[in-house]
Protein backbone atom coordinates (compact mmCIF):
# COMPACT_ATOMS: atom_id res chain seq x y z
CA UNK A 1 0.00 0.00 0.00
CA UNK A 2 1.49 3.40 -0.98
CA UNK A 3 2.51 5.68 1.87
CA UNK A 4 2.06 9.44 1.74
CA UNK A 5 5.39 11.26 2.05
CA UNK A 6 4.97 14.37 4.21
CA UNK A 7 8.65 15.38 4.13
CA UNK A 8 10.06 18.70 2.97
CA UNK A 9 10.79 17.15 -0.45
CA UNK A 10 7.09 16.63 -1.08
CA UNK A 11 6.10 20.32 -0.84
CA UNK A 12 5.55 20.69 -4.58
CA UNK A 13 2.81 18.04 -4.66
CA UNK A 14 1.72 14.70 -3.33
CA UNK A 15 4.50 12.14 -3.45
CA UNK A 16 3.84 8.47 -2.90
CA UNK A 17 6.36 5.86 -1.85
CA UNK A 18 5.86 2.33 -3.09
CA UNK A 19 8.98 0.43 -2.10
CA UNK A 20 11.88 1.81 -4.15
CA UNK A 21 9.53 3.51 -6.63
CA UNK A 22 8.57 7.18 -6.22
CA UNK A 23 6.01 9.12 -8.21
CA UNK A 24 4.55 12.58 -8.07
CA UNK A 25 0.78 12.85 -8.35
CA UNK A 26 -0.06 15.35 -11.09
CA UNK A 27 -3.65 14.36 -11.90
CA UNK A 28 -6.09 14.63 -9.03
CA UNK A 29 -9.42 14.59 -10.90
CA UNK A 30 -11.70 11.56 -10.75
CA UNK A 31 -10.67 8.75 -13.07
CA UNK A 32 -13.09 6.60 -15.02
CA UNK A 33 -14.89 4.19 -12.74
CA UNK A 34 -14.92 0.47 -13.34
CA UNK A 35 -18.53 0.63 -14.51
CA UNK A 36 -17.67 3.16 -17.25
CA UNK A 37 -16.37 1.67 -20.44
CA UNK A 38 -13.99 3.83 -22.40
CA UNK A 39 -14.16 3.93 -26.17
CA UNK A 40 -11.01 4.19 -28.22
CA UNK A 41 -11.26 6.68 -31.10
CA UNK A 42 -8.67 7.70 -33.63
CA UNK A 43 -8.55 11.31 -34.80
CA UNK A 44 -6.33 13.13 -37.25
CA UNK A 45 -5.37 16.64 -36.20
CA UNK A 46 -3.93 19.38 -38.38
CA UNK A 47 -0.31 20.08 -37.36
CA UNK A 48 -1.04 23.50 -35.76
CA UNK A 49 -3.80 21.98 -33.61
CA UNK A 50 -1.58 19.05 -32.62
CA UNK A 51 1.18 21.49 -31.59
CA UNK A 52 -1.25 23.44 -29.42
CA UNK A 53 -2.55 20.25 -27.77
CA UNK A 54 1.00 19.08 -27.06
CA UNK A 55 1.95 22.48 -25.63
CA UNK A 56 -1.14 22.52 -23.40
CA UNK A 57 -0.36 18.99 -22.19
CA UNK A 58 3.22 19.91 -21.33
CA UNK A 59 2.25 23.11 -19.52
CA UNK A 60 -0.41 21.29 -17.47
CA UNK A 61 1.78 18.20 -16.99
CA UNK A 62 -0.88 15.83 -18.31
CA UNK A 63 -1.15 13.63 -21.38
CA UNK A 64 -2.30 14.90 -24.76
CA UNK A 65 -5.16 12.43 -24.49
CA UNK A 66 -6.33 14.09 -21.25
CA UNK A 67 -6.23 17.52 -22.96
CA UNK A 68 -8.24 16.18 -25.92
CA UNK A 69 -10.85 14.69 -23.57
CA UNK A 70 -11.19 17.99 -21.71
CA UNK A 71 -11.47 19.97 -24.96
CA UNK A 72 -14.15 17.63 -26.31
CA UNK A 73 -16.10 17.78 -23.03
CA UNK A 74 -15.90 21.58 -23.05
CA UNK A 75 -17.08 21.68 -26.67
CA UNK A 76 -20.01 19.38 -25.93
CA UNK A 77 -21.08 21.51 -22.96
CA UNK A 78 -20.83 24.59 -25.17
CA UNK A 79 -23.03 23.00 -27.86
CA UNK A 80 -25.59 21.98 -25.23
CA UNK A 81 -25.66 25.53 -23.87
CA UNK A 82 -26.04 26.94 -27.40
CA UNK A 83 -28.98 24.60 -28.04
CA UNK A 84 -30.58 25.56 -24.71
CA UNK A 85 -30.20 29.25 -25.55
CA UNK A 86 -31.72 28.71 -29.02
CA UNK A 87 -34.74 26.89 -27.57
CA UNK A 88 -35.18 29.61 -24.96
CA UNK A 89 -35.22 32.31 -27.66
CA UNK A 90 -37.65 30.28 -29.80
CA UNK A 91 -39.96 29.92 -26.81
CA UNK A 92 -39.79 33.66 -26.12
CA UNK A 93 -40.54 34.35 -29.79
CA UNK A 94 -43.62 32.11 -29.75
CA UNK A 95 -45.03 33.77 -26.61
CA UNK A 96 -44.12 37.38 -27.40
CA UNK A 97 -46.89 39.80 -28.34
CA UNK A 98 -44.64 42.80 -29.03
CA UNK A 99 -43.81 43.10 -32.79
CA UNK A 100 -40.48 44.84 -32.07
CA UNK A 101 -39.37 42.14 -29.67
CA UNK A 102 -40.51 39.47 -32.14
CA UNK A 103 -38.37 41.04 -34.87
CA UNK A 104 -35.37 41.30 -32.55
CA UNK A 105 -35.76 37.66 -31.50
CA UNK A 106 -36.08 36.54 -35.15
CA UNK A 107 -32.87 38.38 -36.01
CA UNK A 108 -31.03 36.85 -33.06
CA UNK A 109 -32.24 33.35 -33.98
CA UNK A 110 -31.17 33.95 -37.60
CA UNK A 111 -27.69 35.01 -36.42
CA UNK A 112 -27.42 31.88 -34.30
CA UNK A 113 -28.54 29.71 -37.21
CA UNK A 114 -26.78 31.30 -40.18
CA UNK A 115 -24.02 33.38 -38.57
CA UNK A 116 -23.47 37.07 -39.24
- Going by pLDDT thresholds of 50, 70 and 90, the confidence category of residue 13 is low
Angle, helices 64-95/47-60, rounded to nearest 10 degrees: 110
pLDDT of residue 11 exceeding 80, the answer is no
Taking alpha carbons only, the member of 26, 36, 90 closest to residue 61 is: 26
**Domain ranges within the chain, ordered by starting residue:** 1-29
Summarize the confidence of residues 12-32 as an average pLDDT: 59
pLDDT digits (tens, 9 = 90+) for 83-106: 999 999 999 999 999 999 999 999
Q: Does residue 62 contact residue 26 with C-beta atoms inside 8 Å?
A: yes
pLDDT digits (tens, 9 = 90+) for 25-65: 666 667 666 677 888 889 999 999 999 999 999 999 999 99
Q: What is the spatial distance between Cα 82 and Cα 109, in angstroms, rounded to a whole number? A: 11
- Does the global pTM surpass 0.75? no
Amino acid sequence: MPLLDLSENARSGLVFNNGAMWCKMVYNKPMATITEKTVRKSVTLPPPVAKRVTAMAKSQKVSSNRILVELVETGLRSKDEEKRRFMELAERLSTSKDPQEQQRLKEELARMTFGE
